[in-house]
Amino acid sequence: MNETNVFLLPDLGEGLTEAELVTWLVSVGDEIRVDQPIAEVETAKSMVEVPSPYAGTVAVLHGEPGQTLDVGKPLISVTAPGAAASKPLADESATPAADAAATAYREEEKAGSGNVLIGYGTPGGHGQARRSRPRRAGSGAPASASANASTTTVSPGEGKRMAVSSPLVRRIAKDNGVDLGSLHGTGPAGLITRRDVESALSTPHAPAVRSSQDQPASASTTPASAGGSADLDSRTGLDVSSRTPVKGVRKAVAANMTRSRRDIPEATVWVDVDATALVELRADLKKRDPENTPGLLAFIARFVLSGLKKYPELNTRYSAENEEAEIIGFDGVNLGFAAQTERGLVVPSIRNADRLSARQLDAEIRRLSSVARQGKATPAELGSGTFTLNNYGVFGVDGSAAIINYPEVAILGVGRIIDRPWVVDGELAIRKMVELTLVFDHRVCDGGTAGGFLRHVADAIESPASALADL
């Protein structure tokens, strides 16, 4: 009896469908325990250490660092303690039974069955994962089914067979014209991995030779050996210097921003604000208590939350999922703020921010900024905002036509605070000026509401002592 448990990559939070394998924390042959971290993966939201639901000996690692793995596909195979180690399959992820199990897994995720627990594989009692052996030759399986389930690929015109780790690898090779028959697989049992294909593409003489069937009869091609380029962009006529896969955070940002611009009829209002009094107030507080004085962004966040209490239309969500569209309001504010990290732009949110003081907001901004930069922010911290504050002034710019963080309905941008000439009581003076820009969904409110909110925040910045006295 086969005692090897196959752990399928779980949904690591809020319906994510894939993750990039960053590094393995264990090796084949290692003895592991339940809940021991086995791999570090990067999702569209954060870096996550994945724990094992099984104890035993690592039999197979299903994937290479840098490879994108689908949720519901095998991540690791573990032989139970005391069981005789059986010869691992070359690629269990390509068997019909494993594909069926993965499909069922994803369907349960979509349906929200609650049977799939993060970090504990597929349903089946006590975290037991489904696993099926491949049919042996002559077992009565239809020939077509065996062909479709095979993990080997025949090189056209050569009759050569090679092991390929996943359909994704085959697709990348096909899209880039790489002859898999000429590659040497570096994966387990000689599997050709995504890294092997990408390595071939990066070499000067990559085995990128398409068959004549793949080329239109009228297409003119210039072989690299004849002095032409192996990767020439037909539209610009220039050599392609690089190809960067869009994945992880960048992929999530791209999808979210595209949907926002496509679905939301946005409008923008802005105002120049004299922040001299706020800057002086903070400087005075810092002299009294250097260690516990909130940053300027925390004060502005406090004024934003006051404005959202007065203009709650901007702390809503527009939903057209039902027969009749509706505007969904919230009892409280989860205040998001844009944070630039090495992985890209993320928006962690302070839950129930409306209940916090400026000092408490400052502590949360610092904490969430730190975990976001480390890639350790949780999906809940990155996906639960109801309004976003974007301090692009740290990049040395004054204003920006920001894109709303879908599915929110508004975003407030804060530019840099700089010295400018400004008229005060009829006299020209040098003041600390900042530009505020509000982008809002015109479906949830009109310009009067947006302008009223923006003016409320601006007035609080210009008279901070009075505003803080009322909070």
Catalytic residues: 442
The Cα–Cα gap between 299 and 277 comes to 12
Sign of CA pseudo-dihedral 165, 169, 171, 175: negative
205-230 core/surface letters (b: 16 or more CB in 10 A; e: else): ebbbeeeeeeeeeeeeeeeeeeeeeb
Q: Are 335 and 307 in contact (CB under 8 A)?
A: no
DSSP 227-258: T--SSB-TTT-PBP-------HHHHHHHHHHH
DSSP, collapsed to helix, strand or coil, labels residue 277 as helix
- The type of residue at 54 is Y
Tokens representing residue 174 in the block: 């096909």
CB 316 within 8 A of CB 329: yes
Name 24's Cβ contacts closer than 8 Å, sequence gap at least 6.
38, 39, 61, 65
Q: Half-sphere exposure of residue 113, counting CA atoms within 13 Å on the CB side?
A: 13
- CA 92 to centroid of chain Cα atoms: 27
CA atoms within 13 A on the CB side of 189: 17
> How many Å apart are CA 183 and CA 241, to the nearest integer?
23
